[in-house]
Structure 1
Amino acid sequence: MTGVTVPEALRQQAIWCQAFDSRFTAELCDVMADDFEASGIIAHLTGDWPTHPIQDALSLRLAGALHAIVLTEPEGDLAQVWPQQGRDWTMEEAWPVAAETLRVRESWVREFLKSPPQTNEVRRAVGLWPGLCAAAEVFEGPMDVLELGASAGLNLSMDRFHYDGGTWQWDSPIDGPRVAMSTQWSGPAPRFPAHAAIRHRAACDQNPLNASKAEDRLRLRSYIWPDQPERLERLNAAMEIAEAQAITPDAGDAADWIKAKLATRAKDALTVIYHSVFFQYPPQSVRDAITHAIETEGASATAEAPLAWLRFEPGGTLGNAQKGPSMILELIEWPSGRRRTLADIDPHGRFVHWHGA
């Protein structure tokens, strides 16, 4: 293991979970850190972790493994002490059962920990959809979208969701299931041009999940913090839409994929590349290759086939001086070359401060 220790990673995750309104997961991470230092089951499972535990989201892998057991065994011992369906809980009651569960299921847990978390946070669409509409304002033709780091591609269906910003609402004109979401919105209301509609959608991920597969649906659900049932409800609804649309992201390297997609993009449409809380994870060489491919294509974009890059990321990742727990929503457009910060936004979409144009 290099750099940060496992207990340090767990305690850092506890701080983040507390900031994002998951007291249960925060306390769970703290007690797992204590268990590691007491040479308990967490030390046994992760004491030889070979790489960086924060970059690998080891804390979320551990929490996700326990939640997956709860979801698959709703009448089991662990589920009885977990905050499912509004159940009261205390960590003093929950942790001994969790520790024993980890011991009994050690082989399965070790296998679960091998895969990085897949956190397809649906409420990020409360910023992404207004961002796509902002890109569509100057072009009245069709819009094709390409998502990087899409996991199961749930946000590819953002034009089928219902949004409530308090002072404004937008509902999809498309018939079918809905994902309803609200947020604390400040600033001017976004604009939704009548012509803004997604014609074609595609996505890639190194390890894409498929909403039609039970094991992939379980993995997505397991990473939702169990004391946040409204997030689970949104996820379930979004998976239903993705399954009905047969959405499956392509497996592949993001840099190679976007280069190939841009080489064959339509010449009668606005092409929008977008991603959310993705750009910090690939190595710098991959980020540079993605940037080069997009900027090169942008240099040849025309008014008849414009290009846009919508980025929902930490400010520091995008070379912005913004700091703190919120992200920025940034839009770069070609052929104009215009670059603007549309919003400051919470990673889970809880609040949006919209700058607009």
Structure 2
Amino acid sequence: MSAAYVAGMGLACALGDDLASSVAALARGGVQPTPVAVSECVRWPMFMLPPQDRSWAERLARTVRSVAADAGEGAGGRSGPLFVASSSLDIGNMEHEVQDLRLGGDLQDFADLVARALDWQGPVFTISTACTSALNAVLAACDLIRSGEADEALVIGAELGNRFTVAGFGAMQLLSPDGARPFGAGRNGLVLGEAVAALRLNSRATRWRIAGGSNVVDGRNPSGTEASAVIAMCHEALVQSGLNPRDIGLIKVQAAGSPVNDAIEAQALKQVFDSLPPLVSFKSLLGHTLGASGAAELALLVACIEAGAWPSTGYALDGELGIALSTQAPAGLRNILLNVVGFGGGHASLVLEDCSA
């Protein structure tokens, strides 16, 4: 079977409209979230993409073309598979342009918008599994490449802001009024974020190989993290990658700032690893980008490693969790575990190997 490699990456998020500017902003300590009004008297902070004087659909198309070009993908005539991953899909388009307050439409409508922006000629797939969407899209694309059904594939993870999603998270009392503090003392909720990310995958060897992954669904806690599922997804990703827990040199955690879910994740990881490897989190800097987070955080992590930059915490950690976030990239890093947890009981994990190590 063929191996699957990351051949190119692109990212637009609150930190910047491309990977280079995002890493530079991260190295400077990040940016502040923007208050978003969901009603006359209710506002929540959100990490927003740089503003554009365009319609919602035009903003999406321009950003998708930009990140795909950064990933090395041509804008026309592509015949390989395109995977479009999102949680909110085209809800923002309905709010801003169509004015369809029923939030109806077809599940494939959003992917069609993305495909038209790229003039895509090949098969187009929608992956919408809440916050695990982009990571599951990467795993699906890798399956096609490993099986020989495709030489390369493009994954687009996209979440653009909309009042419906922000209001829903706020109504569930999941949002922080002041800032996300993953694993932090006094953490009081997550902050949502916009992002559009592109990952170009192929079968030709590059520095970064996707060694394996897993998707475990456990719906006993539809809006939270399930410890047994975290343990299972880590073990399954390690088995598929032919690795043991001691082979992992870094974990990109899910931690978004939830008082309960962060604690469950921390304790579950301690049951997988006798000695926890270094941990890294990005959600205090770009927000929880929902269905795009798997692609956005993978791209940002790789870019940070390549550029020699690293996120700073900037807040006190919860001492009761007994964990720490790394202050620099671990030396001699080879195998990285990336974890994402989402609504509906989705728990997805991916192992990324640095073949240059």
Q: Identify whether the pair has TM-score above 0.5, normalized to the shorter chain.
A: no
Which structure's relative contact order is higher, taking Cα pairs within 8 Å and 6+ residues apart? 2
Larger Rg: 1
Q: Which has the higher helix share?
A: 1
TM-score by length of 1: 0.29
